[in-house]
Every structure is written in structure tokens, then in C-alpha cells.
Amino acid sequence: MIMMNHLLTGAVIALTIKQPELMIPLAYASHFVLDSVPHYGEGKDGQEYIKTPVSWTIITIDALVSGTFLFWLVDTHHYMLLLGAVLAYMPDATWIYRFMHYRVTKRHTSRNRMSRFHERLQREYTWAYGLEFTYLIVVLSVLIGKLQHI
Ligand SMILES: [Zn+2]
């Protein structure tokens, strides 16, 4: 799932669940729920998952929009939303490390039990960009609606 959808989901969870002791684990767990539903991706075949110019374009736009969103959360002092958003994305941070490691060394890193779990539940399909975009619009609408009531 794209970074922005994980971030927005975590922010919505933080806006909805005011108790940090519940929000923190739920935001983190939301990552695995979203990864287990069909979403855009080029399949799971190791770390070489960024294969086409379309993938690079989507990932670049996603990173720029996500960075802007995180900056906005900091700039507007929405720190609990920032925490929820970062937690909801956090499991994918390991893929960034693995991807960079592979690009530099041309060798895959070993995977621990958590990484194997994370990889096994992926439901990535090239045709699922519509689902990904639809979810983006829905979760963004929910976030905007909730932000108007705080
Ligand atoms: Zn993930």
C-alpha cells in the first residue's frame, strides 16, 4: 500500500481514538490490515519490486505528497496525528533500508520472522491502483471531515 494511505489511516485513528494506549497499537496494527487487502504493487519477488517507470513515478509522487503531509502535521502542531501516521507507516521503513541495501550491494538482506510475516500478507496487484486511489479519496475525506470538528 502506498505511504500516503498508511499515513492518512494512522492520522484518522489518532483523531478517532483519543487514548494513546489504544491509539498507538491500533495505528501500528492498521499497517498490516491495509497490506492484507488488495492494493497496488508489482508483486512480491524480493526487493526488486520497483521495476517500471510507472512504479518509480507512483513512488516519487507518493513520497513527495507524504513528506508534505508530515511537514503539515508538524507545522500545524498535530503531534498526536503525526504519531499515529508515523506508527501506521513504520513497518515499511524496513523495506526502505532493504531496498537501499540491495541497490548498493546487489545482495538481499536476511529477513527476520516479522519481515517474513509482513511480506507473506501482502496482496499486491498491478491492477489494484484503482482500489488504492479509491481508498486514498475515502480516507482523505474522512480525515478532512474529522479535522473540521476539532
Ligand atoms: Zn507494509
The CA 65 to ligand 1 mean position distance, Å, reads: 18
The CA 35 to ligand 1 mean position distance, Å, reads: 6
pLDDT tens digits, 53-81: 888 888 899 999 999 999 999 999 999 99
Q: Cα 133 vs. chain centroid, distance in angstroms?
A: 13
**Mean pLDDT across the stretch 20-41?**
96
The CA 56 to ligand 1 mean position distance, Å, reads: 17
Please state the φ and ψ torsions of residue 40, each to the nearest 5 degrees.
-65, 140
The CA 47 to ligand 1 mean position distance, Å, reads: 13
Instruction: Answer whether residue 47 shows pLDDT above 50.
Output: no
Helix spans in 17-92 (H): 20-35, 53-75, 79-89
The CA 38 to ligand 1 mean position distance, Å, reads: 12
CA distance 92 to 98: 10
In the predicted model, what is the mean pLDDT of the chain? Answer: 91
- Closest Cα to residue 106, out of 53, 56, 48, 50? 48
% of the chain at pLDDT higher than 90: 65
Q: Cα 124 vs. chain centroid, distance in angstroms?
A: 13
Please state the φ and ψ torsions of residue 46, each to the nearest 5 degrees.
80, -155
Instruction: Answer whether residue 82 shows pLDDT above 90.
Output: yes
The CA 149 to ligand 1 mean position distance, Å, reads: 30
What local confidence, expressed as pLDDT, does residue 43 receive? 62
pLDDT tens digits, 90-135: 999 988 888 888 889 988 888 889 889 998 999 988 888 899 999 9
Q: How many helices (H) and strands (E) does the chain have?
A: 7, 2
The CA 32 to ligand 1 mean position distance, Å, reads: 6
CA distance 140 to 146: 10
The CA 18 to ligand 1 mean position distance, Å, reads: 25
**Mean pLDDT across the stretch 31-43?**
90
pTM: predicted TM-score of the whole model, two decimal places:
0.90
Split at pLDDT 50, 70, 90, the class of 4 is very high
